[in-house]
A and B are shown apart, each in its own frame.
Chain A
Amino acid sequence: MDSEDELNAAFWKALESNRLQTAPVSVDVPLISNQDVWMNIALIKQYHENMPRSQAQKLALHALQRLDLAHIAYKRNPALTTEERFCVYLLRACMVQNAMIIIDRPFKIIPQLRNSSFIFQTLKKVDDFYATCHIYDYKWMADKYGDL
């Protein structure tokens, strides 16, 4: 897609298509700022599946460990780097049951990235956490995604 309006419309349409499974990863869907990283990730399981706090915390810490980010578990949103924030967005989305992850302009979340290898490596590390993953971006960003 070429224009921002078209992209936004496609992103929101995809989100609305299956409210039970869709899980957004976007700068427009920020982390809850008065909660630690692990709480943001655990919230989905605690709310929708009534998972006890200790179990949800363990799951969130395990998910962070998979991305070598256990050290940020007790940090809050402003203290995160853009890469860390992207990973937390992704792990939060992974907590949705049979998650259909929709990533909205990943290079808007991590502007300094030169190509998509970091994004795909991260997705690979947690590929058992989600059912499908769709990336929405501008046509003119195609070069950054290589041969994909």
Chain B
Amino acid sequence: MDVLENIGRLEVRTAKSLTDTISFAFQVIFRMFQYRNYNSAMRMVLINQIYFTSVQILPVFLVVSIVLGSLLIGIVFQLLKQLGLTDYFGNVLMGLIVTELSPLFTVLFITLRSASAINTEMAVMKVTGEMKTLEMFRIDVINYLLIPRIINGIVSLVLLSSLFAIVSMFSGILFSRIIFGISMDGYINILLNSANLFDLTIAMVKCVALGFFITLIPIRFGLRASSEFTSIPISVSGGMVSVFTAIIIIEVLSFLTKLL
């Protein structure tokens, strides 16, 4: 009976956490569309966040994208040649690397660098009483802290994911010439013929969803910290596990959408 009780309790807790996150997400989305929330203080936080997440990261991100993108393109093209599937390289490039791997790589990069930092920052602010300061001065935590970070998550993920895709496509020019002997014009032609608007739309929606949840979940977990410093690592580890679960769920949902 104990085992069944534990399973039941776990199910109830998971379901409650999921419904809480979804209702919180709706609350945040509703606030995001209220123009009056975009005051000078909030805009300042938004600009700083975009700078920290998208601009500061650029040199490292570019180097990693060039190395990883070229490596992926090189391996995939070589495999296609060995399997005699040269005709499909455009579809593979657009369908696998641009619409699947670019968002996945970018979301992992941003999660490791920024989502963990956001989770810690929120938890520290809660523990040191800074959240109470905001409350005392009638500053809404959702408007001032959450919305700029979530918008930043969405913007950064869409932009950096597009950057990764562009870098990969440029690497493709080089590798298609070396491996398949295709000229640049021919390469661009194949790429344009392989581009599928539906797939690109799904990829864009996926980036928006990933950007939203990889910032919302760490913030929620950070705000759950108690007044003790020992609650910070607990909050961060819980937040990160949930972020990775959310990434997997979104990936599966986008795959199912493509199948349907």
A residues at B contact (CB < 8 Å): 15, 19-20, 23-24, 28-34, 39, 43-44, 46-48, 50-53, 56, 92, 96
Contacts and interface: CB of A to CB of B under 8 A. Distances in A.
Nearest to B121: A34
A46 B41 contact: yes
Contacts of A32: 125, 130, 133-134
Contacts of B134: 32
Nearest to A40: B133
Contacts of B42: 47
Q: Could you say which of B39, B133, B134, B139 has the most chain A C-beta atoms within 10 Å of its C-beta?
A: B133
Given A43-B41, A46-B40, A29 B138 contact: no
A15 B136 contact: yes
20 contacts: A15-B136, A20-B138, A28-B129, A29-B129, A29-B133, A29-B136, A30-B130, A30-B133, A31-B133, A32-B125, A33-B124, A33-B125, A43-B137, A44-B137, A47-B40, A48-B138, A50-B39, A53-B44, A92-B137, A96-B137
B136 A46 contact: no
B75 to A, nearest CB: 42
B132 interface: yes
Interface string B175-218: 00000000000000000000000000000000000000000000
Contact of B40 (A23, A29, A33, A56): A56
Contacts of B245: none
Contacts of B132: 28-29
Q: Could you say which of B42, B43, B137 has the most chain A C-beta atoms within 10 Å of its C-beta?
A: B137
Contacts of B129: 28-30
* Size category of the binding interface on chain B: 20 to 34
Contacts, number: 54
Interface string B117-144: 0000100110011101110111100001
B124 to A, nearest CB: 8
A26 B137 CA distance: 12
Nearest to B143: A47
Contact of B128 (A33, A43, A46, A51): A33
A47 B39 contact: yes
B128 A30 contact: yes
Contacts of B125: 32-33
Contacts of A19: 138
A28 B129 CA distance: 7
Contacts of A31: 130, 133
A41 to B, nearest CB: 11
A73 to B, nearest CB: 16
Given A20-B138, A30-B130, A32-B134, 13 more contacts: A15-B136, A23-B137, A29-B129, A29-B132, A31-B130, A31-B133, A33-B125, A34-B121, A43-B137, A46-B39, A46-B41, A50-B40, A53-B40
A46 B144 CA distance: 11
B109 to A, nearest CB: 22
B87 to A, nearest CB: 54
